[in-house]
Amino acid sequence: MQTRVVRQPPWYYGQEQRTFTHPLYNDTWIRLPKSFHEDHLDARNQVKVVFVAYNELHCTINSVPCDPRTAKHKRDLPARDQVNSAVIGAKVGGVSTWHAAFDEYVEVRLQHIYTGDIFLLGPPTCVWWDIRSHRWAKDGCRLVETNEFVSVCRCDHLTNLAVVVDITGSWMILMLRGLDVMYYVLQCIIIIGCVVTVVSLALCILCFLIFKDLREKTSSLVHANLCGSLMLAELVLLGGLDATEDTVACKTVAALLHYFFLATFTWSAVGAFTCMDFREGEEEGGGGSRGVPSGPFRTFVKVRRRWRVTWSAIAPVALHVTHPFHVYRTFVKVRRRWRVTWMPSPRWHSSDPPVSRV
């Protein structure tokens, strides 16, 4: 508690002398009216004023922590009727209660301790401490102005003054709750989408297995590979949605997703090369490919048919690595067919060996 005692004649009390600012809260002050000294002069024609500022009185009254930074949502909030300012007061002429004239008032500006930009605050109430009932009272005081940081009150008497509010929560907690709701909605959308995708892919694979005509086609085998790798990727994604806390599980899910999606993209490329091989064979009147050597590619197809490897991405990647020149030449042919003029001209490959045909 800090006090300031002034005993001076009435002419001394200008606006600055009638105003007392809290030493710890610079935006908390109390200001007496101009004629506060009437009927309170002593024998020396002077008036005595005692200003009082309490530093931590509100901490002993409240249920919330004195420091807002240490407040915990589940433990401390919500809290009703909390003193949200430092307690400040004044006495005039040594009397316990001073009342202003009819058309005058005491103006008090109270800085909020729990500010509205961080916490959810209810409407503030200007109160004074009733020493007879030992409780906060609000009669004789009214709220003039308020915002997120301060409240301005006007009272018709002098005692210890403060502002009381209900602290219902925190904006940060509200934002986190909103994010939790959004995360829950997105998680439900992802789960529903993945389940529908897995069921659809499983039905596609089942069709490839049931119908014999589909099993005999190379394009069907490629599509089965594509569906299988994509279905496994979706299953890993479903199983790893909550694997974010465990480091090992998170790394495992990430590695599996990387592998299966790589397999998916690779089988898509194989399907594109298969369609291109079939189209070129139709245009040339034969069954071979002018871009991709028929020997390695057909051997690869036979191996897949024999072993029924429907999800591995190693074989197409190995084909790309072991025959990069032929894949590049095929890419050039396709780009030239699309009239992309910046690719190499056909005469650059005049020395290439003839492509085997079957």
Instruction: For residue range 44-85, list pLDDT tens digits in order.
Output: 888 888 888 988 888 888 888 888 777 776 677 778 888 989
| Domain-ending residue, one of 240, 258, 282 | 282
Domain shared by 138 and 54, yes or no: yes
The rounded Cα 338 to chain-centroid distance in angstroms is 46
Question: pLDDT over 70 for what percent of the chain?
Answer: 70
The answer, yes or no, to whether residue 339 has pLDDT greater than 70, is no
CA dihedral 195, 201, 202, 206 (to 10 degrees): 160
The Cα 166–Cα 188 span in angstroms is 36
> Are residues 198 and 141 both part of a single domain?
no
Q: Which domain holds residue 118?
A: 2-68+75-169
- 151 and 244 fall within a common domain: no
CA–CA dist 341, 172 (Å, integer): 58
| pLDDT band, residue 178 (cuts 50/70/90) | low
Residue 256 clears pLDDT 70, i.e. is over it = yes
Name the helix (H) or strand (E) containing 261: helix 247-284
Instruction: Write down the pLDDT at residue 37.
Output: 76
**56 lies in the same domain as 133:** yes
Sign of CA dihedral 319, 218, 208, 306: negative
Q: In the predicted model, what is the mean pLDDT of residues 254-263? A: 85
Q: Are residues 255 and 138 in the same domain?
A: no
Q: Which pLDDT score is estimated for 328?
A: 44
Q: Residue 23: inside a domain, yes or no? A: yes
pLDDT band at 221 (very low <50, low <70, confident <90, very high): confident
pLDDT of residue 173: 58
Answer yes or no: do 223 and 84 share one domain: no
- Which comes out higher in pLDDT, residue 128 or 320? 128
| Segment (H or E) for 200 | helix 171-210
Q: Do 165 and 182 have their domain in common?
A: no
User: Per the domain annotation, does 244 fall within a domain?
Assistant: yes
With tokens 């002419």, the residue in question is: 11
Q: If you average pLDDT over residues 109-130, what whole number do you get?
A: 88
pLDDT at 117: 80
188 shares a domain with 260: yes
pLDDT at site 206: 87
Q: Tell me, what's the pLDDT at 319? A: 46
Range name among 85-89, 113-117, 163-167, 336-340 with the lowest pLDDT average: 336-340
The secondary element (H helix, E strand) that includes residue 125 is strand 125-130
- Mean residue pLDDT of the chain comes to 74
Residue 151 has pLDDT above 90, yes or no: yes
Pair 156, 189 in one domain? no
CATH at residue 34: 2.60.220.50
End-to-end CA distance of the chain: 102
Residue 334 has pLDDT above 70, yes or no: no
Q: What is the pTM of this model?
A: 0.50
Domain boundary among 169, 201, 223: 169
Give 182 or 118, the one with higher predicted confidence.
118
- For 30-34, 213-217, 279-283, which range has the lowest pLDDT when averaged over its residues? 279-283
φ, ψ for residue 247 (rounded to 5)? -65, -45
